């Protein structure tokens, strides 16, 4: 008789997944479909739906620190937002500490434009840079994150029939990363029963 249980495919490891995105551009469209698909797949996903804009950035930093995976959705208007860039800089900091894995998503955006700050993506960043010219250290962190994150292997709408197929690919990639992460942790921290057997 078959025993009913959750497999990794049905119920992935419950490490928190943080989504970094430009809210005004994506919240009511692509993001909604992605978050629903992740929750349907039993992924422990966090977005800033409940955070108060302009007041809770440090709360979001804490959420990033609590997460093991970040999905950074880079879009044309992403670089209009200092909020998004502050989050991205924090994500890079956690990656450098080897405490976070990032999956970049280039949403209707050429990855080359992102890496080289070209087109509207680059123009938006330069406008923001002017607004914050009195904060050179903050701008430096933004630039470092914008150069570093897009170097990671990411997903784009190109190569997918439509956005729903892209969402499906993102969910599969997140689950893959979570399962690989959990497997490494099991190898690194053997169970107490295995440790006990070593001494028998």
Concatenated DSSP letters of 110-178: -HHHHHHT-HHHHHHHHHHHHHTTT-HHHHHHHHHHHHHGGGS--EESTTSSSHHHHHHHHHHHHHHHH
Sheet arrangement for strand 45-46: 45-46, 16-20, 67-74, 101-106, 155-156
Q: Mention every residue, 6+ apart, whose C-beta is less than 8 A from residue 139.
A: 129, 132, 133
Measuring CA to CA, how many Å separate 159 from each of 133, 154, 169?
A: 39, 12, 11
How crowded is residue 25: how many other Cβ atoms within 10 Å of its Cβ?
20
25 is known as an active-site residue: no
Eight-class DSSP state of 102: E
Q: Out of 25, 76, 80, 87, pick the active-site residue.
A: 87
Residues with active-site annotation: 87
């Amino acid at each position: 008789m078959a025993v009913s249980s959750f497999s990794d495919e049905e119920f992935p490891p419950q490490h928190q997944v943080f989504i970094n995105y430009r809210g005004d551009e994506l919240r009511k469209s692509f993001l909604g479909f992605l978050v629903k698909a992740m929750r349907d797949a039993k992924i422990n996903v966090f977005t800033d739906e409940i955070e108060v804009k302009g007041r809770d950035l440090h709360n979001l930093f804490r959420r990033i620190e609590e997460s093991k995976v970040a999905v950074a959705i880079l879009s044309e208007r992403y670089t209009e937002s200092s909020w998004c860039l502050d989050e991205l800089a924090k994500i890079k900091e956690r990656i450098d500490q080897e405490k976070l894995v990032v999956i970049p998503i280039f949403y209707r955006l050429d990855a080359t434009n992102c890496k080289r700050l070209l087109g509207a993506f680059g123009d938006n960043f330069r406008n923001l840079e002017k607004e914050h010219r009195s904060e050179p250290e903050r701008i430096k962190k933004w630039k470092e994150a914008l150069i570093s994150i897009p170097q990671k292997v990411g997903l784009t709408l190109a190569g997918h029939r439509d956005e729903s197929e892209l969402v499906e690919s993102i969910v599969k990639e997140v689950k893959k990363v979570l399962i690989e992460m959990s497997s490494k942790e099991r190898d690194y921290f053997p169970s107490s029963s295995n440790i006990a057997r070593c001494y028998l």
